[in-house]
Structures are given as structure tokens and as C-alpha cells.
Structure 1
């Protein structure tokens, strides 16, 4: 089974071009940090309440990236909230996105393809080797939204991440969005960490908008 971080990165892939949708670096880092925290929560290593995120089991998961994240959480004595840890993990985890991307290559989901444009400019693409994983993720999440049943924790978490990243249009056609968005919002609100990811990414985009408006005014 893919991790949340791997699934989120895979959903940003343009299947036909073998390239990734443009997403602001800070937003992408925040989403991947949230995904790591959610994987730890699903592995019963951390828990959250309305004020804090805290470690409940210090045993290694057996996944290098998750165990590195768990070690960082353990190293801080005072309890911090989810927003603190999203920022800490997003910016203190070295090569976060490249490491998640390499995992997809190592799993045989993607392959690396280097080529030259006009024989000069280097371009790296990541075509899917087998589109089964990305199709399975998309089908699973579409079914969750349309069937109106109570979601399991994993699906609710993933919907929250996809919504926070502004990637709902990777799952649904434009004409479906008015119908599905109330249900998407309902599911996304079920997870505390997901809500913090959503808030953090919205703050990032609001800051970017404010900066752009200020720059144009000058």
C-alpha cells in the first residue's frame, strides 16, 4: 500500500505528460508534511486533540521517512500543536519531495526519463510504468464522495489532503464539482490534522495573493 505522501504526489502527476501539476513549493511541502503526520497517526504513533499533537508510541514504524519524522517529534519535550509540526517537518526534512518521488520510482510506479529540448535544455519526466495505482486511488476517492457512506479514516484523510492542496479537479470533472463539493467539505472536516493542513495552505495562498496585490500597487 502506498503512503499518504506517495498518493498525494502521485495525484499531482499529469498522466499524459509525465510531469507534475504546478503547486507552490511551500504548499507542496506542507501537504507532504501533513501526509507524514497522517501516516504516523494511522500507525498509532501519534494522536491529536484540539490543542496539541503528541507521540503515543515511540516504536519505529520501519519506514525511514516516517521514523525520521517520529524521531523529530520525540525530540521536542514540550507539546506543540499540529500547525507547529506542519511547518517544522515541511522545512526541516531534507529533500522531502525528491525523497517521496524516489520512493515511487523504487516501487516501480514511475520511471525517470531524461531528454533534451532543442538538443540543449534538459527536461526530466516521470512517466507511469503502470497506471493501476493512480487509477485505484482516484476510483476509491470518487466512490467515497458519490456513495454518501461513512468514510473510513484513511479515505477521509486523503480527501482532506487533496482538498487542502486544491486538487479536487484531479478527481472530478468540472461539471461534477458543484454536486460533489459539499460532500468533499463534509469529509475533509472529519480529520484534525487535515483541517490544519487546509488552514496552513490557505494562509500560504492568502499571503501570496496579498504580496502580489501589494507589488502591483507599487
Structure 2
């Protein structure tokens, strides 16, 4: 291993550590005050840090897959396929989780949305920032890329990075969904991570759109009661 390779791996590890630390520390700091906004505050903070770290290394989000698509029809087609895979994975993972863990739903985190149009508009704004763009850019693009680079950048390193990112994604949902929700969301994170390796590095928008669609349906259903 050359000195330059060692330096790149060290830099990737430091960047990864900084962003993961922000995601954990900021959320845990805000949880005593708000279960609803602790997650969004931490992702907004981490996005700012990740953007700065990419810029500092001479990169941008475009290098990790955030690009204007050459064909929106193709992008929407891939989005539909990703969403179908999401439904299949979520259903299978939920059925398996039912055998092992109690399903606590969302522990009342979003009860305030039911029948409240102002709250619904607010939560939809968070869905399409924190809950789709930011989560995909952070938990797929940034964490997988930096983890893979820190581990050497090989195909095996990328697969290990996907697994680690999926576990962390599941952990992020444990505080209000319990082990049942953590298992399901971790499984979805694993699926989305593998898709990121396949197509997301070229264009991450299908993952963003599928994620946002899933969250939009959930919140609209909740609003309608």
C-alpha cells in the first residue's frame, strides 16, 4: 500500500467518523426535547458537514450520484422498479420481524399529523428534504462511499460498506420503532445500498424518489386517519 493510498483511506475514515458522530450526537442531544425533530436536525447538520468535507477534498455530491438525469423517463422507470423492490422487501422483512419482535409502529411520533393539514404540510416538507434527499445522500452515497474507501475500495469493501450502512440506518430508527422497525428499515437500507452500488453511483435520484414516495404515502395515510 502506497503512502498516497494510506492517506486517502485515512481521510475517508476521518470524514466518515465526523458525519456519523454528528448524526448520533446531534440526534441524541435533541431527543429529550423533541422526538419529531431530533432526526431532521441531525441530518440537516450532517448534510452541512458532509457537503463541506466533500468540497474540501475536491468533490461534490455529483461525484456521488446527485446529477440531473439524461432521461427522466428512464429515471422514472428505474424509480418504479426500486419502489416495487422496496414494497417486496418491506413486506418480507416485516413478516420476518413479526416472528421475532413486537411491532410498536412509530410510537406515536407522528400522531400530530392525523387530521392536521398544517402539520401534514410541515411533515411533507421534511419528507422531501430530511426523509428522502438527505437520508439517501448521507446513508447511501456518503456513508457507503466513505466506508468503502476507508476499507480499500474493493468490491468486497463496497459490500461490507453497504452492510454497515444498513445496520446504521436500522439503528437510526430504533428509538421510535423498536427492534421490529430497526430490522425492517435496516433491510430496506440493505436493498437501497445494493441498488446504490448498481445504479445509484451514476444517478441516485431513483432512490431519492422511491424513498420520498414511500414516506409520502405513509404520511398521507396517517393524515387521512
TM-score interval, smaller chain:
under 0.3
Normalized against structure 1, the TM-score is what?
0.26
Q: So what's the TM-score if we normalise by structure 2?
A: 0.25
More strand by percentage: 1
Q: Return the structure number with greater relative CO, CA threshold 8 A, min gap 6.
A: 2
Query: 1 or 2, which has the higher helix percentage?
Result: 2
